Chain A
Amino acid sequence: MAVGMLTAILSGFVLAILAPGLYRIVRGGAGWLLALLPLGLAIYFASHAPLIASGDALSESNSWVPALGVDLSFRLDGLSMLLSLLITGVGALILVYAGGYLAGHPQLGRLYAFLLMFMGSMLGLVLADNILLLFVFWELTSISSYLLIGFDHERAAARSAALQALLVTGGGGLALMAGLLLLGQAGGSLELSTLLLQADHLRSHPLYLPSLVLILIGAFTKSAQFPFHFWLPGAMEAPTPVSAYLHSATMVKAGIYLLARLSPALGGTDAWFLSVTTVGGVTMLLSAWLAITQSDMKRILAYSTVSALGTLTLLLGLGGTLAVQAAMAFLVGHALYKGALFLVAGTLDHQTGTRDVDRLGGLFRAMPITALAAGFAALSMAGIAPLFGFLSKELFYEAALRAPAAAWITAAAVTANILLAAAAFIVGIRPFLGKAVPTPKPAREAPLSLWMGSVVLASLGAVMGLWPALGTDGLLSAAGTAVLGETVSIHLSLWHGLTLALALSAVTLIGGVIVYVSRGLLRRLASRWESLGQFGPARWYELVLLGLNGLAGGQTRLLQSGYLRYYLMIVLVATVGLTGTTLATRGHLVKPTDWSGLHFYDVGLVVLILMATVATVLARTRLAAIAALGVVGYSVALVFVVFGAPDVAMTQFLIETLTVILFVLVFYHLPETPALSSALARGRDALIATTVGVLMTAFVLIATEVQYQPPISEYFAEHSLPDAHGRNLVNVILVDFRGLDTLGELTVLAAAGIGVYALLKLRVGKQRGTASAASGSECAPSAGDASLPIANPMPKEGEVS
C-alpha cells in the first residue's frame, strides 16, 4: 500500500492545524520554518522526475468509500508533476513572503493555516485520479480561497469579494460535479486513468454533450473565463501573497488543469473546439484591454492574469501538439513572471504605502533589488528575448499560425499580447524609472523576505529561457505527453530562424511600446465607455443575488409568519393536500363491515371521546378546555388498555398528565380574554380540523386493510426472548431491535428540550439587550429580529408577561 502522495497532501492539512500555534511560539521566523514543508514536498516530487521523464506515471490507491467507487487514488504524471512543482515551489516562497508582508499582524498564524490548507487541497486536485476525489479537492480550494480573500474580514469589500468568488466558483463546482458524474456514467468508471483510455467511446456517447457543457462551466468559473471573469479582479481584496499564490500562479489554473487533463477524452470535437476557443479568445482580448485601463497595480495584474488564462483556454481549445506545447510553456512562464510581479506589487505597497501606478516613479534608486526583479519579470511578460516569456510567446504564435481560422486567431493573439506587453511596462518598469515621486511612506529597499520571492521567480524565468535544456524540456515534454495522450518531446530554443512568429514578436514589442506611450489617451477613451460596465456580467451576478435573496425573503415572510397557529395550519393543510390527493387517486375507500368484535365498553369509550372533544371546542374558559382535552387523552389511553397495549397506555396516561400540567402552567400566564378570532377564522379552522379528522379516519381504515409486506411483528415476537432476552416486545423493540431509531429520537427530544428551554429563558427584552451590546457582529441584530415572533408567539392576544 503506497501512501507517498496521500501523505504529501495530508501533510499540508496537518501543518495547517499546527501553524497558528507554531506562529505563536516562533513569531518572526515562522514563515521560514513553515516553508520547509512545501520545499521538502517539491524535492519529493522532483525526485520522481526520472520516472516521469521516461513517460511513466506513479500511481497509488487506497480504499475510501468502496460502495460508491470513490477511492483515494492518486497519479503523478507529467502534467501533475508540473503543477505540483509550481504549487509547492511557489508555495514555499509565498510563505516566506507572507511573513514579511504581514509581519506583526495578529492573525498571521491564521493566514499561514489557510495558505497551507490551500496548498494541500491544490496538490490533491492535481494528483487525484478519481474524479470525485478531484471534485472534493476542487471544492476545498474554493473554500480556502474564500477564507483567504475574506482574510481581512472586517472590511465589507473583502467580505463581499470573498462571497462573490465563493458563489461563482461554488456554483461552477456544482455544475462540474454533475458533469463529472455524467462522465463517469458514460465511461463506466470514476478513475481518470480508465476514462482517458476510452476517448472514442466517450465522444460518441449520448451523455457527451451534457457532461462537456457542465464540466466546461466548472472549468470556466474556476479559471475566471468570460462571462465569469469578474470575480478574479474582485479577489484582489485578498492580501497580496494570496493574490500571487492562488489568484495567479495556482488556483485559477485549476480550470486549465481540468481542461488539459480531460482534453484527450473530451477534446477534438467541434463542440469542444468552438466553445473552448471562443470563450478563451474573448476572455483573452477583453481582459487584456481592461488591464491597461486600470491604475491599481493589482488590478492590472489581475486582468492580465485573466487574459493569460484566456490564452491557455484558447490553446487547449485548439488542441494538437504545437498548441499543447505552447500551453504548457505558457503556463510555466506565466506563473513565474506573474507571481514575481504580484510580489513586487505587494512589496511596493508595503514599502511606499501605495500601489497606484500614477503615484509611483523613480524607485530604482531606493529599491534596486526589487526593481531588477520587477524589470526581468516585466520583460519576460512582454515577451522579450532571451527570457522565458519570449519562448512561450513564440510557441503561442506558431500554434496560432497553424490553427484553423489562423488569421483570426493570430490577429487576436497579437492584439492581446501587445496590450499585455504595455501592461507589463506599466507595472514592472514605470514605477522604477523617471523622476522620483513622493509616496505616502518614504521608499526603502524591502527586507530579504519581501524580495526573495520575486527575485527567485524572475531569475528562474531568465535561467529557463537561456538554458531550456536544463530540465525545462524534460518537464514540459512529460506534461505535454500527459495532455496529448501520446509521446511528444519539446525542445525549446531561442533562435528559430527568421520566421513569421519572430516578425510577429517584433510587431508585438513595437505595438506594446506604442500602447504604453499612449496609455493616457486609451484610459480616457475607456472611461467614456465605463457606463457600459453596468450591463456587464458583474451586474448580472448582482441581479441574480438580489433575486435569490428576494425569493428567500418572500417565501420566508409567507411561510414563517411567526404565529404558531399558521405553522400548524400550513403543516396540516400540506399533509391533507398531499395524502388526500394520493388517497383520492390511488386508494379506495374501505367501509368497515365486521362489527362482531365490538363490545359495549368500546362504544362507551368512543362516545366519551366524542363528547369530550365537543366540550373542548365549545369550552368557555381555557381551564375547562384543558380538562376536557385531558378526558380525550385518558380515554384514548383506555382504548390502548382495552386492545392490550399496556405499555402504550401507561405512557399515554403519564404524557397526558404532564401535558395538562404544562397547559395549565402556560395558560396561567395568559390574560383571560374572550373569543378573539373572527367568525370567518373560526369557520376556516373548523373546516381544516374536520378535513384532517375525516382524512385520518379514512387513512386508518385503509391502512388496516392493506398489507403489502408480511408484518414484521411475528419476527419480533419470535426473536424477542431468544435473541434479546426480553419478554416485553415493545421495550425490546425500543431498546434493542430498533435501538438506533430510539437513539435518534432521544437526540431530537434532547434538542427540542434545550430549544424550549432557550425560548423560555431568552425573552425578547433580554435578547434585544445582548443584540445591541454585540452590535459589532453582523448577524446579532438579525438573529434577534428572527426570534422576535417566535419568542412572543401571540402578540395579538396581549403581551406575554
Chain B
Amino acid sequence: MNSLILKVATRFMLPLLLLFSIFLLLRGHNQPGGGFSGGLVGASAFVLYSFAFGVPETRQALGVDPRGLIGAGLLVAIGSGLLALFMGRPFMTSVWGQLDVPGLGTLYFGTPLVFDAGVYLVVIGVTLSVILPLAEE
C-alpha cells in the first residue's frame, strides 16, 4: 500500500499507540486495561506500521525478533512469580511495596504489574509472530 496520508499519519500514530498501550498496561489494575489489551494495542500499532511501510521496515522499527518477545515475556511472568519463593511464600504470591513520592502521594507497586508486563510482551510477540510472516508474502 502506498499512501502518503497513511504514511504520515502512521509516523505519528505509532508512538501514540505505543504510549497508549503502556498506559493501558499500567492502569489495568484499577481501571479497564491490562497486559492483554495493552499488548493487543501495541501489536496493532506495529501491524499498522507494516501496512504503511512494509514488513522489513516494521521489523527494523521493532528492533527485536517478535519470537524473542514471547520468550522474554514468559520469563518475566515466571520471574515475577518466583520472587515470592525466595521470600518463603508459595509461588505466584503477590509481593507489594510502597513509596511515598512528595507531591504525588503514595505509589504502590507489586509483582502483579510485572506479571502483567510479561503478558503484554507475550501478546505482542505472538500476534506479531503470526501476522508479520503472513504479511510478508
Contact = CB atoms under 8 A, between A and B. Distances in A.
Given A743-B81, A746-B119, A760-B133, A734 B36 contact: yes
Name, among B36, B67, B129, the residue most crowded by chain A CB atoms within 10 Å (CB to CB). B36
Contacts of B115: 735, 739, 742-743
Given A725-B96, A743-B78, A750-B126, A650 B137 contact: no
Interface string A732-754: 10111001101100110110111
A754 B78 CA distance: 18
B52 interface: no
B74 A746 contact: yes
Given A724-B94, A739-B92, A746 B127 contact: no
Name, among B34, B71, B96, B113, the residue most crowded by chain A CB atoms within 10 Å (CB to CB). B34
B123 A725 contact: no
Interface stretch (A217-225, A654-662, A784-792): A654-662
Nearest to A742: B119
B81 A728 contact: no
Contacts of A742: 115, 119
Contacts of A753: 70, 125-127, 129-130
Contact of B92 (A661, A669, A740, A760): A740
B33 A731 contact: yes
A405 B134 CA distance: 80
A373 to B, nearest CB: 58
Contacts of B22: none
Contacts of B43: 658
Interface string B98-136: 000000000010101101101100110111011101110
A749 B123 CA distance: 8
A666 B137 CA distance: 10
B135 to A, nearest CB: 6
A658 B46 CA distance: 11
Interface residues of B, number: 47
B11 interface: no
A728 B30 contact: yes
B77 A743 contact: yes
Given A724-B112, A750-B74, A760 B94 contact: no
A650 B37 contact: yes
A746 B73 contact: yes
A665 B131 contact: yes
B29 A727 contact: yes
B130 A757 contact: yes
Nearest to A749: B126
A750 B108 CA distance: 30
A662 B29 contact: no
A735 B111 CA distance: 9
Contacts of A749: 122-123, 126
Contacts of B70: 750, 753-754
B126 A728 contact: no
Interface in B15-69: 28-37, 40-41, 43-44, 47, 67
Contacts of A728: 28-34
Contact of A756 (B40, B73, B92, B129): B129
A736 B112 contact: yes
Nearest to B119: A746
B29 A725 contact: yes
A639 to B, nearest CB: 16
Interface residues of A, number: 40
B40 A746 contact: no
Contact of B34 (A647, A724, A760): A647
A547 interface: no
A740 B82 CA distance: 12
The DSSP consensus for interface residues of chain A is helix
Contacts of B118: 746
A801 interface: yes
Contacts of B137: 669, 801
A744 B119 CA distance: 11
A654 B40 contact: yes
A62 interface: no
Nearest to A745: B119
A4 interface: no
Given A747-B74, A757-B130, A732 B29 contact: yes
Nearest to B48: A661
A727 to B, nearest CB: 4
Contact of A736 (B41, B67, B94): B94
Nearest to B137: A669
Contacts of A666: 134
A646 interface: yes
A175 to B, nearest CB: 37
B93 to A, nearest CB: 9
A742 B40 CA distance: 16
Given A654-B40, A753-B130, A646 B92 contact: no
A748 to B, nearest CB: 10
B77 A647 contact: no
Contacts of A665: 131, 134-135
Contacts of A654: 37, 40-41, 44
A310 B126 CA distance: 60
Interface string A706-735: 000000000000000000111110111011
A761 interface: yes
Given A658-B43, A739-B115, A725 B108 contact: yes
Contacts of A731: 28-29, 33-34, 116
Given A731-B29, A749-B122, A801-B137, A726 B129 contact: no
Name, among A655, A658, A739, A742, the residue most crowded by chain B CB atoms within 10 Å (CB to CB). A739
Nearest to B110: A725
A204 interface: no
B133 A735 contact: no
Interface string A395-436: 000000000000000000000000000000000000000000
Contacts of B37: 647, 650-651, 654
Contacts of B113: 735
Nearest to A723: B94
9 contacts: A654-B40, A654-B44, A725-B29, A731-B116, A734-B36, A739-B115, A750-B70, A750-B125, A761-B133
Interface of A: 646-647, 650-651, 654-655, 657-658, 661-662, 665-666, 669, 724-728, 730-732, 734-736, 739-740, 742-743, 746-747, 749-750, 752-754, 756-757, 760-761, 801
Given A753-B125, A760-B133, A760-B134, 17 more contacts: A647-B37, A651-B37, A655-B40, A658-B131, A665-B135, A725-B96, A726-B112, A728-B29, A730-B32, A746-B118, A746-B119, A747-B74, A749-B123, A749-B126, A750-B73, A754-B129, A761-B133
- Which 6 pairs from chain A and chain B are nearest by CB? A753-B126, A654-B40, A726-B29, A727-B30, A646-B32, A665-B134
